[in-house]
A and B are shown apart, each in its own frame.
Chain A
Amino acid sequence: MCGIVGIYLKSKKFENSLGGMLSDMLINMGSRGPDSAGFAVYKEDEDENFKYSLCLNGTDYEKFKKEITNKITISNIEKNSDHVIMKSKDQPSDVIKILNKNFNEISIVGYGKSIEIFKQVGEPKDVVKKFNLKSFSGTHGIGHTRMATESAITTDGSHPYSTGEDECLVHNGSLSNHNNLRRKLKKAGINFNSENDTEVAAGYISSNLSNKKSLNNTLKDGLKDLDGFYTFITGTRKGFAVLRDEIACKPAVIAETEDYVAIASEFQAMAHLPNVNDAKIFEPEPGVVYSWEN
């Protein structure tokens, strides 16, 4: 099972309600994935900082804040439940090195100039409440509700997965060649934190994008290289893209209006969205990449 959702705003009209729209979509998709939930919201940082989404995993926040402030130049740091959004203008390669070296127990959930990621085990309705997703604003966002199959119910096993700057991926389905692909990508220098299949697909996408391939071509190549069942939504700083495998067992519905594009595993997750009954509603065709970017 698993539920996936995404919303991309074509106009500024709903920017302040993005969190609320995404929150209701995730709560509805709780029926497809009660084990864990997560979401990525994109909102450009006004001061061009890099934003780091960190999961504390039990680390004392005040202690961490004090120690990290001595090591890097922090513009802002804010705690949201067991996650922290830390802003800094320092180079990501340095910051990630410092975090990995000194704060082993803290996981870097994602980073970039726009993305903020939150994910945790528990029922989607509790997860969105815990991080107060309703209060978020932004330009686009994607989310996932997980019914765990091939790896454990942990924060690291939850979606979205981010393995590159401002990139993330949610997935409904399962991949069968992830172990082989993980080995290849590890050799190419990509790091993985879990045994999860989706993390490998995220690594595959990031690796291709960093080789200057376009998102469209990366996903098209994915049809050959990723073996299994999937509907993917992949988020980037500019927008998101959707791809279903050619068998297309895993569902997806898209609703497009003048103001937004919404995607979900089932229509019911979008039934509350404004003017959805007047939207152009269609199923993404198998093996075809759909993308929306600003």
Chain B
Amino acid sequence: MELDLKKINLREVNDKLQNLDRKQNQRDFTITNPEGNHAICAGLTEEMNVTIKGHVGYYCAGMNQKAQITIDGNAGTGVAENMMSGKVHVKGNASQSAGATAHGGLLIIDGDASSRCGISMKGVDIVVKGSVGHMSGFMSQSGNLIVCGDAGEALGDSLYETNIYIKGNVKSLGADCVEKKMDKKHVKKLNKFLKEANIKNLKAENFKRYGSARKLYNFKVDNIGNY
């Protein structure tokens, strides 16, 4: 079913998708003419496939649960922020704070993501096929952040237990973020994500893994110099 944002108001479109008419059994939707509008497909809670044809504004697919949302264009600030489950696929680039605070689900970005990608993520898995900007993974708590390109300054600053995998160069690591050993179990896990994101040309073994040195988040006075 096509939902044209030039003809139907954004609130109506979101309302329709948030409150599916179960009698109709319609689970496939295409949104046309998004024109950079904010909060498209925010707060969906049921299994459905939505394709958005064009560029979206802020907080697209925010708070998503169960829905599979594809953005055939670029996404503004905070795409899939606070996602709980489901899958969000951005075919272009994403702006800052992609996947911010998200608890679950899978976010795939085919292009680059700018600064603060995965900030405070709490369990989501994020795969960026391009590069990420500065402060990515800032204060991230759990989940996996996989970057096939490079990472900007202060990667993983003050992070907790997120696993960060980077294929390219890291400009600098943030406070308490260190490189960690890639064990077989990490290679296996990373392979699963690469497969899910349909990445065939890269080998999991060539990625580097980063995580927390665990000196900051349990406060010990002996570590005061590290803050």
What is the interface of chain A, defined by CB distance below 8 A to chain B? 248, 251, 253, 266-272, 277, 281-283, 285-286
Contact = CB atoms under 8 A, between A and B. Distances in A.
Q: Which of A266, A267, A268, A283 has the largest number of chain B CB atoms within 10 A? A: A267
A248 B115 contact: yes
Given A267-B76, A281-B74, A286 B134 contact: yes
A267 to B, nearest CB: 4
Interface in B46-99: 54-55, 57-58, 73-74, 76-77, 92-93, 95-96
Contacts of A286: 115, 133-134
A106 to B, nearest CB: 39
Contacts, number: 46
A269 to B, nearest CB: 8
A269 B36 CA distance: 8
B35 interface: yes
A2 to B, nearest CB: 16
A251 B54 contact: no
Interface string B29-48: 00000011110000000000
Nearest to A272: B35
B114 interface: yes
A242 to B, nearest CB: 15
A285 B207 CA distance: 25
B124 to A, nearest CB: 22
Nearest to A279: B55
By size class, the interface of chain B is 20 to 34
A282 B93 contact: yes
A260 to B, nearest CB: 17
B171 to A, nearest CB: 12
A271 B95 contact: no
A76 B54 CA distance: 47
B117 to A, nearest CB: 12
B114 A281 contact: no
Contacts of B77: 251
Given A282-B93, A286-B133, A267 B115 contact: no
B133 A267 contact: no
21 contacts: A248-B115, A253-B76, A266-B76, A267-B36, A267-B76, A268-B35, A268-B36, A268-B37, A268-B57, A271-B35, A271-B36, A271-B55, A272-B35, A277-B54, A277-B73, A281-B74, A281-B92, A282-B93, A283-B95, A285-B133, A286-B133
Q: Which of A268, A269, A277 has the largest number of chain B CB atoms within 10 A? A: A268
Given A267-B57, A281-B55, A286-B134, A251 B36 contact: no
Nearest to A281: B74
Nearest to B35: A271
Given A248-B115, A281-B74, A286-B134, A267 B96 contact: no
Contacts of B96: 248, 251
A253 B96 CA distance: 12
A251 B134 CA distance: 14
A67 B153 CA distance: 60
Given A267-B74, A271-B35, A283-B95, 17 more contacts: A248-B115, A251-B95, A253-B76, A266-B36, A267-B36, A268-B35, A268-B36, A268-B57, A269-B36, A270-B36, A271-B55, A272-B35, A277-B55, A281-B55, A283-B93, A285-B133, A286-B115
A286 B132 CA distance: 13
A283 B114 contact: yes
A267 B134 contact: no
Contacts of B114: 248, 283
A266 B57 contact: yes
Contacts of A269: 36
Nearest to A271: B35
Contacts of B38: 268
A256 to B, nearest CB: 14
Interface in B114-157: 114-115, 133-134
